[in-house]
Structure formats: structure tokens, C-alpha cells
Amino acid sequence: MREYLDLVDRVLSKGTLKHNRTGVDTISTFSEYMKIDLSEGFPLLTTKRMHFKSLLHEVLWYLSGEDHIRNLRKHTKIWDAWADENGNLETAYGRYWRKFPSAQVNPATGQYEVKEIDQIAEVIRLLKTSPNSRRMVVSAWEPGNALWSKLPPCHYSFVFNVQDNKLNCHLTQRSGDIALGIPFNIAAYSMLTQAIAQEVGMALGYFSHTIVDAHIYVNHVDGLKEQLKRKPKNLPKLNITHKPVDELKFEDFELVGYECDEPIKFEVAV
């Protein structure tokens, strides 16, 4: 996937050294952007092996709206470092996607009452009833939670947009780990876009991505330089059973034709 390798090259060549909360310095740039045509294939990185099953379990976990990882950790440990001993997660993306707390004034009492908003359901409703809407926004950023959460959402907001009956998705990310997180983010939101497009009867358009602080941890540099030497292979195809998003199960997804280079191990900065 050339767009990803170009991003790696830009950050390595133009980035500046920054200290951060993890204690491992990063090479960082401001406001990186990429745009990927989803009609060309499923954008799963081919210059190293990606763990597709973990990715799929994570996306289904988001869609479940769960605020814990007790079910997720049966399949993948990718969120274990940020959960407590009971599996509870201060910032679970799906919780905000499906149950975002909205404070509204009760006219009868004049007091605020909290109502949970299912943002994914609202996007699907608008795509079916008002596809030209410019209000199909999903947010995972809750300011109060961000004050005390161990890891507030990195990919915190995404917007759907329809052009010529093609569904596009733009993701905004406050912080992006180029080696580990970004490849997963690209594939996860592309998968979500495809699943929603199928439900509403639209073709695939583009996935675009803005990363405010795009960074490479210094202990990831060698692995990324190795990837820059590798030639991207043809993208695989993702088949998803044609059913509503909320009915999709693990077995409804099939990755076809995935050819990739050997895996590269990167340490996670917690």
C-alpha cells in the first residue's frame, strides 16, 4: 500500500524528535493526510503480515458497544494493557459509538438528564433516508472521560459522506503510532465503511485519514526502514455477508488473496 509507505517516508524524513508520556521518544510530524480508493481492494498492509483475525475481532467489539474487554480478550490481547484486572476499559470506543452520553434539559424540571445516543444507528438511518446529509459524524471523544482516562481515544471522530452513490469515510486521529496503530486503523475503518455501504446499498468510495500528531517511536525506526525496502503487493479482497451491520458475526467476513511479506515485530509503548 503505497499511501502508507509514503506516510512512513514523510515522517522519517521531516519529523522532529519529541518526548512523550511513554518515556520512549518519537519522531513526529503535524497533520499528515492520506486518501485511499477502496474500490482498488481492501487496504490491509502487505509489506508486513497483519493479524486479520485480531483486527476483525476488534471491529466487532467496537460495534458491540461493550465498555469492557472480557469477551474481546478471549480472541486477542491487544487492549489488555489499558484495562483493569476485571477487564473494564475507561475508554472503550464502541461504548461511545453506540451509547454516547448526551446531557439534555428536561423542560418539566429544568434539570439535565443523560440520554444515550447510538451514533452508528443514526448514521445508517441518515444514509437510508437523507444520504446527502453532512451530519453523519461519529465521535468517541467525551471531554470528561478524557480528563481521567488512561488512554483517551486516539481515532476520535469519523464522518461519512456520499458522492455519486459511493460511501466515503474520513477519520480524524489526534495521535497516531505509525508502525503499530495506523495500519490497523486504516483497515478497521475501511472494513466498517464496507459493511455499512453494503447495508445501505452503496458502492465503496474513499477512505481518507488525518493524523494530527503522526509519530514513529525511535525503537520502531529500523523495522519501518525495512518496510520501505519492500514492494507493496496487490491488495486482497474482503467479502462480507450481506446483512445488517448489527447482525454480522466473525464468520461473515472472508479475506481473499492476501499476500504479504514476513511480519516485523514492534514493541508497544504503553
> Which of the residues are catalytic?
154
Q: What grid cell was written down for 84? A: 483493569
CB atoms within 10 A of CB 69: 23
Phi, psi of 133 (to 5 degrees): -60, 145
How are the residues of the chain apportioned to helix, strand and coil, as percentages rounded to the nearest 5?
35, 30, 35
Say if residue 23 is exposed, middle or buried (CB neighbours under 10 Å; 0-12, 13-18, 19+). Answer: exposed
Residue pair 197/204 in contact by the 8 Å Cβ criterion: yes
CA distance 196 to 95: 18
Q: What is the dihedral of CA 146, 18, 222, 41, to 10 degrees?
A: 40
Q: What torsion do the CA atoms of 142, 147, 152, 156 make, to the nearest 10 degrees?
A: 30
Tally the residues of the chain: 270
Supply the DSSP symbol for 131: T
On whether the CB atoms of residues 253 and 63 are closer than 8 A, the answer is no
